[in-house]
C-alpha cells in the first residue's frame, strides 16, 4: 500500500520502497599503508583508520539507500591489532539493520602482510547513518533490508539492541 511522503510545497505520493538484500550494498576497499599515514612506530594512525571506516560504511549505506547519507553516530570502534607500514589495509562493510530514516552499518578491518599473505582482524566498528533527501535536505525513508542468512539475522537482532542503548544514552545525555 502506498504511503504519503512529507509535505513540501506540494503533496506527493511516495511508493513503498523495495527491499534490498545485504549483499547488494556490501562494500570493500583496500589500500597500502604508506609512511604519511603512520605514527613514529610505523603503525597506521587510529584516526586514519576511523576515516576509512566512515568512508567504507558510507559506501554501503549509500548503496543500500540510493541516497545521500550523513554519519549520525559511531557506537563502537575497537582496535584489536595494529596495521603496519607496508601492509595492505582491507575494510569490509555491510548494512546490519534498517530503521525508518536511518540504518546501521558494521565494518571489519583487516591487515594483510604482503610478503606472507597473513591476514589479521584489526578493527571492528558500528556506524549509524541517516538518509537525506537531495532536494529538501531532510531525513527520508530508507528501503527495507532483506535478511537471507542466520549470520545476517544475528547482526540484525544485535543492531536493534545497540540502537536501544544508543537512544537511551542520547536521551540521558540530553537531560544533563
CATH of the domain at 148: 3.10.129.10
Would you state the pLDDT for residue 127? 97
Q: Please give the Cα distance from 73 to 147 (Å, whole number).
A: 23
> Cα–Cα distance between 33 and 36 in angstroms, integer?
8
Is 93 among the domain residues? yes
Longest dimension (CA), the chain: 61
pLDDT averaged per 10 residues in sequence order, the chain, 176 residues: 41 64 97 98 97 98 98 91 98 98 98 98 97 97 97 96 87 73
- Domain for residue 96, yes or no? yes
Residue 159 included in any domain: yes
In the chain, which residue ranges form alpha helices assigned H by DSSP? 22-25, 46-65, 150-174
Is residue 42 situated within a structural domain?
yes
CA 111 to chain centre: 19
Strands 3-4 and 68-79: unpaired
What per-residue string of b and e applies to 90-106 under the rule 16 or more CB within 10 Å gives b?
A: bbbbbbbbbeebbbbbb
User: What integer pLDDT is reported at residue 12 of this predicted model?
Assistant: 41
Whole-number Å distance between alpha carbons of 176 and 156? 31
Give the pLDDT of residue 11. Answer: 41
Which pLDDT belongs to residue 5? 43
Range of the domain at 48: 19-174
Q: How many structural domains is the chain composed of?
A: 1
Residue 105: inside a domain: yes
User: Is 166 inside any structural domain?
Assistant: yes
The per-residue pLDDT for 15 is 52
Amino acid at each position: 500500500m502506498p504511503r504519503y511522503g512529507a509535505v513540501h510545497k506540494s503533496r506527493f505520493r511516495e511508493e513503498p520502497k523495495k527491499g534490498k538484500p545485504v549483499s547488494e550494498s556490501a562494500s570493500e576497499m583496500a589500500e597500502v599503508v604508506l609512511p604519511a599515514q603512520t605514527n613514529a612506530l610505523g603503525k597506521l594512525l587510529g584516526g586514519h583508520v576511523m576515516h576509512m571506516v566512515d568512508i567504507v560504511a558510507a559506501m554501503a549505506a549509500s548503496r543500500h539507500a540510493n541516497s545521500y547519507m550523513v554519519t549520525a553516530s559511531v557506537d563502537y570502534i575497537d582496535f584489536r591489532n595494529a596495521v603496519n607500514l607496508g601492509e595492505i589495509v582491507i575494510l569490509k562493510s555491510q548494512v546490519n539493520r534498517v530503521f525508518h530514516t536511518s540504518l546501521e552499518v558494521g565494518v571489519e578491518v583487516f591487515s594483510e602482510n604482503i610478503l606472507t599473505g597473513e591476514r589479521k582482524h584489526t578493527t571492528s566498528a558500528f556506524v549509524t547513518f541517516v538518509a537525506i533527501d537531495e532536494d529538501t535536505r531532510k531525513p527520508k525513508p530508507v528501503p527495507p533490508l532483506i535478511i537471507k542468512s542466520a549470520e545476517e539475522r544475528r547482526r540484525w537482532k544485535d543492531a536493534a539492541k545497540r540502537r536501544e542503548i544508543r537512544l537511551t544514552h542520547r536521551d540521558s545525555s540530553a537531560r544533563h
